[in-house]
Amino acid sequence: MDNYFFINPKAGQGKGIDKLAAKIEAVGATLGVSTKIYITKGVGDGERKARETAQSLSGLPARFYACGGDGTNNEIVNGTAGFDHIAVGCVPIGTGNDTVRNFPGDFLDIKAQLCGTTQKIDLIKYSGVINGTYQERYCINMFNIGFDCNVVELTGRLKKKPLIAGSMAYLMAVMGMFLQKKGIALKLIEDGKVLIDDEVLLCAIANGSYCGGGMYTSPQAQISDGFFDLNIIKDVPRLTFLRLFPRYKKGTHLQVPAIEEILTIKKCQSLTLEPKRDHFFLCADGEISTAKTVQFEMVSKALDFILPMTSQDA
């Protein structure tokens, strides 16, 4: 069985890409397995190449590894959607790497990856007018809407300005969004019933538990239970936000007394989100797009996800 590694050369600021490629080839040779490497050429190229490669295999089984961050993983997942003979794994060399936090194992160990097993996991299918055109796509880990998505979007704009580095841009964005306390006005509908029609601080639609580079914001979510978890934080005062944010980051916020007064959690299998304004920012697996009305649907056991071999498997 062939193993294809799609490497994002810009992941992790582009450091160690040549060493990674050499390691993949060396480990493959030692194990006597086929490894093929493709260096992506820009945004969307990994998805395109993964789809073309999957089609060319004509049903033969293969493993595709996304070497990058959550965005690279998202591209390979979307490029292989509908190809049941393809298993997808992730070598996390990006910055956030939140998808792999939902699983055990050393995902940077190439030998463990090539000798690993697979697990059926869920995907969230979403559809609507995204970046100006109608699209149907898949998310593996989490959607973020509102405050935290606005922070990521503002960080991206600030990083383009001179003398503002990545960490400084993120800090400035958090401070800016905190001062504005900029959330989102939206309507959420489940099976024709309106769940929310109001201004909220943030909304997360979670298949996995982590976002923002290790923030454990949805500890109750399980990536293969057949549901996604809707998390909504109301438009709370700034002092309440400051007091609860450390607990929210660590995943201990569910133990806060009376947390249900400001946090709504609901397991869903389908959902429609309608912005109260013309459009909104949608962060899917760490990648931001603009969207209008979007439908979300749980697709149970949709992906064979590669888990690295552990000492217990050996």
Q: Is the dihedral of CA 282, 283, 287, 293 positive or negative?
A: negative
Question: What pLDDT, on a 0 to 100 scale, did the predictor assign at position 174?
Answer: 74
Both tokens of residue 205?
A: 């639609």
pLDDT of residue 19: 94
Greatest mean pLDDT among 43-57, 174-188, 209-223, 300-314? 43-57
In this prediction, residue 271 has a pLDDT band, given cuts at 50, 70 and 90, of very high
More reliable by pLDDT, 243 or 6: 6
Percent of all residues in the chain with a pLDDT value above 90, rounded to a whole number: 73
Question: What average pLDDT does the segment 68-76 reach?
Answer: 95
Relative orientation angle of helices 166-180 and 147-159, to the nearest 10 degrees:
140
At residue 259, the pLDDT reads: 93
Q: Which of 2-6, 15-19, 175-179, 193-197 has the lowest mean pLDDT?
A: 175-179
pLDDT of residue 25 exceeding 70, the answer is yes
pLDDT at 219: 96
Secondary structure letter of residue 182 according to DSSP: -
Nearest in space to 146 (alpha carbons), one of 234, 272, 70 = 234
* pLDDT tens sequence across 28-47: 999 999 999 999 999 999 99
pLDDT value of position 155:
76
Range of 72-86, 202-216, 241-255, 268-282 with top mean pLDDT? 72-86
Residue 303 in contact with residue 140, Cβ under 8 Å?
yes
Mean pLDDT over all residues of the chain? 91
What's 229-296 look like in SS3? EEEEEECCCHHHHHHHHHHHHHCCHHHCCCHHHCEEEEEECEEEEEECCCCEEEEECCEEEEEEEEEE
Given a cut of 80, is residue 170 above it in pLDDT? no
Query: What percent of the chain lies above the pLDDT cut of 70?
Result: 96
What is the pLDDT, as a whole number, of residue 254? 94
Instruction: Please report which confidence band the pLDDT of residue 165 belongs to, taking 50, 70 and 90 as the band edges.
Output: low
Average pLDDT of the segment spanning 206-224: 93
**Residue 111, SS3 per DSSP:** helix
Q: Which H helix or E strand runs over 218?
A: none
Confidence of residue 311 (pLDDT cuts 50, 70, 90): low
Which pLDDT does position 310 carry in this prediction? 83
Residue 10 has pLDDT above 90, yes or no: no
Is the Cβ–Cβ distance between 264 and 190 less than 8 Å? no
For residue 216, which of 248, 242, 240, 262 has the smallest C-alpha distance? 248
Confidence of residue 277 (pLDDT cuts 50, 70, 90): confident
Lowest mean pLDDT among 123-127, 212-216, 224-228: 212-216
pLDDT higher than 70, residue 313: no
Q: Looking at the predicted structure, is the pLDDT value of residue 159 above 80?
A: no
Six-digit token pair at 273? 């989100």
- Convert the pLDDT of each residue in 293-305 to its tens digit: 999 999 999 999 9
Average pLDDT of 74-80? Answer: 98
